[in-house]
Amino acid sequence: MSKSLPVNVRRPPAPPPPVPDVRFKNKTNSDFYNHVPTIEVTKKKHNSLLQIPSPTSDEVITSVLKDSVRDRSSNPSSKPNVAKTKGQSLSSQLHMKPPQPLSEEEEEEEEEDDEDEDFYEIVTDQIVKDSRFKVNPANIPSPKNSHLTEIEQRGRAMLSATPANRSGSPVPSKSKINKIDDISKLLDRTIQEKKELEANNVRLHTTIQELRHKNQDLQLKLENRNRDYDIMSKNYLDHVRMIRATDDDHSTIADKLNQLKASIEHLIRKAQGSRSVNLNKAAAIDHFKDSGLLEGFPIKDNLEPFLLNLYMESVIMSFLESRFFDKPLSCVFDYNSGFNDLYQWMNARNNKLAVRWRQQLCVMLTQDPETKARQEALVTKTADELTALITHIYPNSNEGVKIRELCCKSFELSVAMTALESVISPWHGHLGSRFDEECMATSLKSNPEGDVALVIFPAFKDTNNGFYSRSKVWCY
C-alpha cells in the first residue's frame, strides 16, 4: 500500500539523482539497496527479454517522484515512524537504558534520517508496483512460471536468452580439453628441451674453457719451440760459417751462374754497338784461328757478325774459367797441386774428414788478409787482360768497369762452389752431340734439331749429381 507524505514535511534539499543509485545515511537501508538491481540494469534486462519500448531513467524517476509527492500531499498523516518503532523495539529487546534528551541539531538530523527512510520506502514501492519494470508487464498468467518469484523469473529469462552452443559456457568442451592436454604436453616437452639445451650449453661452456686452457698451453709451447728454433738456427749458421766460406747453397749458386751468363751477353751486346758497328771482324777471325777455336767449325769460311759475337762470349767465359773455376781449391792458393793429391788420399779413406778439411781451408782463404790482397791483384790482372782483348775486337768499346765487376763475381762464385760439401765445377761434354733441351739452352739463330757446333757457356754440376746448370750452345 502506497504511503503519502504530509504537506508540512520538509523535502530533501538536494535535487533528485540522475539514476536511482542513491546512498542514504542509514546503514541498514544502504545494505538493502545494494542487493536490489538498479533501474538501468533492470531496464536493459527488460528490453533484451521482452523487446518492448522502455522509458528512460529520468522519465521513470520523474514519474515516481510526482506520484510520491502527490500521495504525500493528499495524505499527510500516513507518515510512519519507522525509526522510532525500530528504536523502541531494539531498546526493549536489548534492555537498553532510555535515551538521553537530544539537542536540537541531533533532533534535526534524526528527523532528516527518518524522512530519507520514508522516501526510500515510497520510491521502492512505486518501482515494484510499476509494470514497466516487471518481466511480465501484462500480468499474463503462465502456468509454467506462475510459482516463481520475480527474481527467479528474471533468472530463467536470462538463461533462456543464453545461446545454446558451448562457446559461452564456462565448462570447456571435449575438443578444447584435448587441445589443452596437447598444449600441456607440448609445454612439458618444451621445458624438457630447454633443460637439455641448458645442460648442453653448460657442457659446451666447460669444453670451451678446457680448450682455451689447452690452447694457451699450446701457444706457450709453440713460443718456447720457436725460441729454441731461433737459437738452433743461429747456432747452425754460426757452425756453417765456421766450416763454409759463404752462406750459398745450390739455389743461390744457380742464380749467380744465370746472372754471370746474362752479364757476359750484356757486355758483348753493348761492346759491339748497334748492328755490330764496333766489331773488328778481321781481328776477331785472326784471334779465333790463332786460338784454335775455329777448328772443326762447319762454316768457318763464312762467319757472320752474330757468330763472331757468340764466339766472343765463349772466349770470355773460357778466360774466366781458366783463371777462376778450373782450380783444385782456389786461384789464390799456391799449393793447388799438393792439395789435390792430399785431398784424394783423404777422400779415399774418410770422405767426411776430407770434405771438412777442404771447407776449412776455403774459410781460411776468405778470412786471411794476405790471401785477400792476392785476390785483388788477380782480379785486377784478369780484368785488364779481358779489357785489352775486348778493346782489340771492339775498338770503340769502353767496358772496363763492367769487366772488373764480372771478374769479382767469378772469383766469389768459384770460392762458394768449392766450399760446398759437393764441389761444383764446369763440364764440357756437349760439343758435337745432338741438341738436348733438358740439359742445353739454345742461342741466337740456333738450329734446335742440329748438332752442337759451339759451346758458349759450359754446364756446371757437382760430384754427387745433385746439382746441374744447363749449358748455352749454338747448333748447326
- The domains of the chain are located at 27-161, 173-243, 248-475
Q: Which residue has the higher pLDDT, 446 or 240?
A: 446
Q: Which of 2-11, 227-236, 256-265, 415-424 has the lowest mean pLDDT?
A: 2-11
What does the DSSP 8-state code read for residue 451?
B
Q: Are 413 and 253 in contact (CB under 8 A)?
A: yes
pLDDT band at 120 (very low <50, low <70, confident <90, very high): confident
Q: What angle do CA 436, 440, 445 make, to 5 degrees?
A: 95
pLDDT band at 61 (very low <50, low <70, confident <90, very high): low
Residue 319 Cα distances to 101, 253, 402, angstroms: 158, 20, 15
| 8-26: average pLDDT | 48
Indicate the SS3 state at residue 49: helix
Q: What is the pLDDT of residue 8?
A: 45
Where b means 16+ CB within 10 Å and e means fewer, 24-62 reads eebeebeeebeeeeebeebbebbeebeeeebeebeebbe
Q: Which residue has the higher pLDDT, 410 or 74?
A: 410
Give rounded-to-5 percent helix, strand, coil for the chain. 65, 5, 30
**What's the rounded Cα separation, in Å, for the pair 461 and 427?**
7
| 329-348: average pLDDT | 90
| 123-129: average pLDDT | 70
| 235-251: average pLDDT | 77
**What's the rounded Cα separation, in Å, for the pair 90 and 28?**
14
**What's the rounded Cα separation, in Å, for the pair 258 and 311?**
19
Q: What is the pLDDT of residue 251?
A: 92
